[in-house]
Amino acid sequence: TFVVTDNCVKCKYTDCVAVCPVDAFFEGPNFLAIDPAICIDCALCVPECPAEAIIQDTELTEEQKPYQAINAELSQQWPNITEVIAPPDDADSWNGVPDKLPLLER
């Protein structure tokens, strides 16, 4: 299973959703989550993310590990997203900023 991690927070470019063959992405206010029960591990979304935020679950760093449960939880609460939308105006200024978990809106 692939996991959306910290650098998606406040970037939310959504390029990832266009390539997912099984529509596994769910949209929150400033972050996307992958439903681990839907993801088929194709890895197509990984190179699409300008923030390099999508990581295989077996490759997560200690800092990224909390995002496994966050994806599982929030994908059950948020609506499905399958088409690219405009990112936040300030997305580029947040790309690469560390430790954005406190900024994740539910």
Residues at the contact surface with ligand SF4, assessed by CB under 6 A: 2, 19-20, 22, 24, 34, 39-45
Residue of 3, 20, 24, 32 that binds ligand F3S (CB under 6 A): 32
Of residues 17, 18, 102, 97, the one with CA closest to residue 66: 102
Stretch that binds ligand F3S, among 10-18, 62-70, 72-80, 97-105 (CB under 6 A): 10-18
Residue 98 structure tokens: 């560390």
Q: Over the range 4-38, which residues count as b (16 or more CB within 10 Å of their CB) and which as e?
A: bbbbbbbbbbbebbeebeeebbbbbebbbbbbbee
Select the binding partner of residue 55 from ligand F3S, ligand SF4, none (C-beta < 5 to 8 A, by kind).
Answer: none
The Cα diameter of the chain in Å comes to 32
> Toward ligand SF4, which CB reaches closer, 19 or 97?
19
Minimum CB separation from ligand SF4 for residue 34, in Å?
A: 5
